A and B are shown apart, each in its own frame.
Chain A
Amino acid sequence: MNETQIFKLYACCHLVSGSTRSIIYDLQRKECEFIPNILAEIIEKFDGIKSISEIKQFYESEYDDTIDEYFSFLVNHEFIFFLAGSENYRFPKIDLSFRQPGVLSQVTIVVDTLFDERSQVILAEITELGCRDIQLIYLTATCFSKIASDLEHFSQSAFNSIEIISGYDPTLHRDEVIKLVQESHRISCWLIHSAPITERVREQHFGMQEIIYSEKVYDAYARPEFTNAAGFKLNIESFTESHHKNAFYNGRICIDKKGELKTALFNQELFGNITENPIRKLLEDPRIELLWNSKKDNTAICKECEFRYMCQDNRLPLKIDEAETWAHQVPCHYNPYTAEWANEEKCIDLVLKTSPPRTPPDTELPK
């Protein structure tokens, strides 16, 4: 280990401290590691300023072994590198601003007669508002040909990904479903629930696409609860978004079967009907913007949680004062003050699984 040169945290690795422990978010490799708060403090205080031997001196050589242990951990995970003091200015931090080319990012549509009649208008409106990811929910068992014909609306569209949730129908033969998914690269995931079998179909040529047959009955109106960190997102988009926005709700709307606009299918509140007003107009409702801006840094308890910039909490926060402070009525399964999940004894060894990036990696071949 390099004891004499100044150490520096790679700019893609971010420290996030919670009440009892901290996490190093490795946004590039989409991994993270828990570290004790004291190590986070040491990094924050001396990053780009001191060498390991200087840090040992600072603590009057009282904790040399611990410091060695800490720093070998950081080196082994490639969280830090070493440099000469004169080089420090070359390595700025990442600017954490968040920008998106549109108002909407994800729209859920309950496919019913209304969508059948107005699909062109709806899709044109949400495309114009910047939406590129769409979720189609069929509340009942739906036959293959109906879904296939609905997908034709998307063949010339600007959508990047389509997620489908439908009830099982005997016409949803495995082979035909696979063929359809193969043909439409936009389908990111197709969940066929209430099926006679449970199977995750992953074909090699699928890339990131997947088909899931599930015996479970899917209740579209029930709020999915998270009981561990499995659904958290660890990437630069979500990290920067969480610094400014509510990472779950921002840019997300749902159009229920009768055309009512909601913030999510499982929420009760209605924001007008898309048959009466254009979606753009409905989005002017100040309650929507307020919710989208309810970031974790302003939310009681969450603001002291080390997961706050990867968490995809879907609970509706309540505004408790004029200063945009938010709180929740339903407790989270995670307690940042004890670092424990309600359903687990200890979570120290928790392995975070994060979703893969949506966009294809840029592999540059020489021209």
Chain B
Amino acid sequence: MIVILSSSSDFSTSQVIDWLLFYKAGFVRLSDEDALDIQISLTNESGPSDTTITCPGKDPISFAAINTYWYRRGFVRNTYSPLSGNNPQSTYISRFIFEEHQAVNEALNALFKSDINHLGAFKDNFLNKLDVLNAARRLGLQIPNTLVTTQKKDIESFIERFPKCITKAITNGFTFKIKETTYFLHTIALDATKVEGFPERFPSILVQEQLPKKYELRIFFLKDKFYSSVIFSQNDPKTSLDFRNYNNEKPNRVCPFTLPETIEQNLRNLMQHFDIKTGSIDLVVTEDDRFVFLEVNPIGQFRQVSNPCNYYLEEKIAKTLIDYGEKTVRAIA
């Protein structure tokens, strides 16, 4: 059986599931909205651990019955929150419970990983952008010149070298909703005038040179294959900085793309380095035709690559999961 962990609203997961149904593969979809009970039992007996996931209203899933695991996005929610009120201890204890629960999520993924073929992993959420950039650089990929600092004077000298810069979150940023408005962090342009207003010192921020783009690439990586799309965002001032600033009336042109072989090989090495089996990769092709690596997002959306390029990635993911299930060989007790 295939176990899928995904957020309940993820439409792409539903599309993959349509293909699993088509190929008559057994699966169970767990979402971050399900109140799941997890039982992990580790004993001295050899063989896989005895792990059971119970979702109210569904049959308990025993570890022994699972042969493939797809971590799409989200996490197993902590449904037990016994603390309320404003006493000073509760914050610390809540935090402790959260961290304990996080450790269970990690353990679950580690257990799955050691015995079952899996696509995606919970740990992929914690990929560090700077670590990835550094590895990319060392593996022969070009990256945008990057600075992380807490001091204005550093940014000033960086901007002197690269007059057009951007700043974005080092982590995954934030998304929150207050009343009807959703707030989330975008990439913002930075220049000398803007920096002038900065205080001398501030919390760590990431600054990168803004690359003169010919076009952007959004690449979906699955096993060791790349499915690339090119986004012509430079035609449109609204999206030229960050193509996620969608222009709905006149969407950017998105077409299939063939990567040069050397770039593919470098990216493959990078994915191997971080043990990532699937994800979305962003690259920029500069006006002087350099391929510059920006970032990898292991849980990124793939519909926006799959649909315009007619790649049928949803079917390819389903087939990969089925194929993994057939290949899972368990440790024999």
Asked if residues B308 and A102 are in contact (CB atoms below 8 Å), the reply is: no
Asked if residues B257 and A28 are in contact (CB atoms below 8 Å), the reply is: no
B295 CB to nearest A CB, Å: 11
Asked if residues B303 and A91 are in contact (CB atoms below 8 Å), the reply is: no
Say yes or no for A222: interface residue by CB 8 A criterion.
Answer: no
Asked if residues B310 and A95 are in contact (CB atoms below 8 Å), the reply is: yes
Which of B43-51, B167-175, B271-279 lies at the interface with chain A?
Answer: B167-175
**Contact residues in A for B308 (Cβ distance below 8 Å):** 12, 27-28, 236
Say yes or no for A331: interface residue by CB 8 A criterion.
Answer: no
Provide the A331-367 mask, 1 if CB < 8 A to any CB of B, else 0: 0000000000000000000000000000111111111
Instruction: Decide: A364 near B310, CB < 8 A? Known: A10-B255, A101-B19.
Output: no
Asked if residues A94 and B255 are in contact (CB atoms below 8 Å), the reply is: yes
Q: Tell me the nearest residue of chain A to B255, going by C-beta.
A: A11
B123 CB to nearest A CB, Å: 14
A residues 219-245 in Cβ contact with B at 8 Å: 236, 240
Q: Tell me the nearest residue of chain B to A91, going by C-beta.
A: B255
**Contact residues in A for B26 (Cβ distance below 8 Å):** none
By size class, the interface of chain A is 35 or more
A86 CB to nearest B CB, Å: 9
> Of A28, A96, A158, A364, which contacts B300 at CB under 8 A?
A364
- Tell me which of A360, A366, A367 has the highest count of chain B C-beta atoms within 10 A of its own C-beta: A366
**Contact residues in B for A87 (Cβ distance below 8 Å):** 289
* Majority secondary structure, A binding face: loop
**Contact residues in A for B248 (Cβ distance below 8 Å):** 361
**Contact residues in A for B257 (Cβ distance below 8 Å):** 90-92
**Contact residues in B for A132 (Cβ distance below 8 Å):** 18
> Of B18, B182, B253, B255, which contacts A365 at CB under 8 A?
B182
**Contact residues in A for B185 (Cβ distance below 8 Å):** 366
Instruction: Decide: A366 near B253, CB < 8 A? Known: A94-B310, A236-B308.
Output: no
Say yes or no for A287: interface residue by CB 8 A criterion.
Answer: no
Asked if residues A366 and B303 are in contact (CB atoms below 8 Å), the reply is: no
Q: Tell me the nearest residue of chain A to B171, going by C-beta.
A: A367
Provide the B228-264 mask, 1 if CB < 8 A to any CB of A, else 0: 0010100100000000101010110111111110000
Say yes or no for B54: interface residue by CB 8 A criterion.
Answer: no
Say yes or no for A59: interface residue by CB 8 A criterion.
Answer: no
Asked if residues A92 and B258 are in contact (CB atoms below 8 Å), the reply is: yes
A residues 104-152 in Cβ contact with B at 8 Å: 128, 130, 132
Asked if residues B253 and A28 are in contact (CB atoms below 8 Å), the reply is: yes
> Of A12, A130, A236, A363, which contacts B246 at CB under 8 A?
A363
**Contact residues in B for A240 (Cβ distance below 8 Å):** 310
B284 CB to nearest A CB, Å: 14
**Contact residues in B for A97 (Cβ distance below 8 Å):** 310, 312
Say yes or no for B320: interface residue by CB 8 A criterion.
Answer: no
Asked if residues A12 and B182 are in contact (CB atoms below 8 Å), the reply is: no
Say yes or no for B12: interface residue by CB 8 A criterion.
Answer: yes
**Contact residues in A for B202 (Cβ distance below 8 Å):** none
Please, how many angstroms separate the alpha-carbon atoms of A340 and B59 in the complex? 62
**Contact residues in A for B301 (Cβ distance below 8 Å):** 362, 364
Please, how many angstroms separate the alpha-carbon atoms of A362 and B173 in the complex? 19
A169 CB to nearest B CB, Å: 34
Say yes or no for B195: interface residue by CB 8 A criterion.
Answer: no
B214 CB to nearest A CB, Å: 9
Asked if residues A366 and B184 are in contact (CB atoms below 8 Å), the reply is: yes
Please, how many angstroms separate the alpha-carbon atoms of A68 and B310 in the complex? 33
Asked if residues B256 and A11 are in contact (CB atoms below 8 Å), the reply is: yes
Please, how many angstroms separate the alpha-carbon atoms of A89 and B261 in the complex? 12
**Contact residues in A for B232 (Cβ distance below 8 Å):** 10, 81
Say yes or no for A78: interface residue by CB 8 A criterion.
Answer: yes
Asked if residues B173 and A29 are in contact (CB atoms below 8 Å), the reply is: no
Asked if residues A130 and B184 are in contact (CB atoms below 8 Å), the reply is: no
Q: Tell me the nearest residue of chain A to B312, going by C-beta.
A: A99
Please, how many angstroms separate the alpha-carbon atoms of A362 and B186 in the complex? 17
**Contact residues in A for B15 (Cβ distance below 8 Å):** 101
Q: Tell me the nearest residue of chain B to A27, going by C-beta.
A: B308
B residues 280-301 in Cβ contact with A at 8 Å: 289, 299-301
> Of B169, B250, B253, B303, which contacts A362 at CB under 8 A?
B303
Asked if residues B307 and A236 are in contact (CB atoms below 8 Å), the reply is: yes
**Contact residues in A for B289 (Cβ distance below 8 Å):** 84, 87
Please, how many angstroms separate the alpha-carbon atoms of A218 and B235 in the complex? 47
Please, how many angstroms separate the alpha-carbon atoms of A314 and B259 in the complex? 42
Please, how many angstroms separate the alpha-carbon atoms of A60 and B299 in the complex? 54
Instruction: Decide: A28 near B251, CB < 8 A? Known: A130-B18, A364-B304, A365-B175.
Output: yes
> Of A12, A96, A102, which contacts B255 at CB under 8 A?
A12
**Contact residues in A for B11 (Cβ distance below 8 Å):** 359-360, 362
A249 CB to nearest B CB, Å: 20
A17 CB to nearest B CB, Å: 21
Say yes or no for B315: interface residue by CB 8 A criterion.
Answer: yes
Asked if residues A366 and B169 are in contact (CB atoms below 8 Å), the reply is: yes
Asked if residues B18 and A101 are in contact (CB atoms below 8 Å), the reply is: yes
Please, how many angstroms separate the alpha-carbon atoms of A81 and B253 in the complex? 10
Say yes or no for B21: interface residue by CB 8 A criterion.
Answer: yes
Say yes or no for B36: interface residue by CB 8 A criterion.
Answer: no
Instruction: Decide: A366 near B256, CB < 8 A? Known: A94-B309, A132-B18.
Output: no
Please, how many angstroms separate the alpha-carbon atoms of A87 and B18 in the complex? 37
A132 CB to nearest B CB, Å: 7
**Contact residues in A for B309 (Cβ distance below 8 Å):** 11, 94
Please, how many angstroms separate the alpha-carbon atoms of A280 and B64 in the complex? 34
Q: Tell me the nearest residue of chain B to A10, going by C-beta.
A: B253
> Of A96, A360, A367, which contacts B172 at CB under 8 A?
A367
Asked if residues A364 and B250 are in contact (CB atoms below 8 Å), the reply is: no
**Contact residues in B for A84 (Cβ distance below 8 Å):** 289
**Contact residues in A for B125 (Cβ distance below 8 Å):** 367
A residues 8-28 in Cβ contact with B at 8 Å: 10-12, 27-28
B residues 159-187 in Cβ contact with A at 8 Å: 169, 172-175, 182, 184-186
A to B CB contacts below 8 Å, 30 in the list:
A10-B255, A11-B255, A12-B253, A12-B255, A12-B308, A29-B250, A90-B230, A90-B257, A90-B258, A92-B256, A92-B258, A94-B310, A95-B256, A95-B311, A97-B310, A101-B19, A101-B314, A130-B18, A130-B21, A236-B308, A359-B11, A360-B11, A361-B248, A362-B12, A364-B304, A365-B244, A366-B174, A366-B184, A366-B244, A367-B125
The 10 closest A-B pairs by CB, nearest first: A11-B255, A101-B22, A367-B172, A101-B18, A362-B303, A366-B173, A101-B19, A364-B301, A10-B253, A362-B301
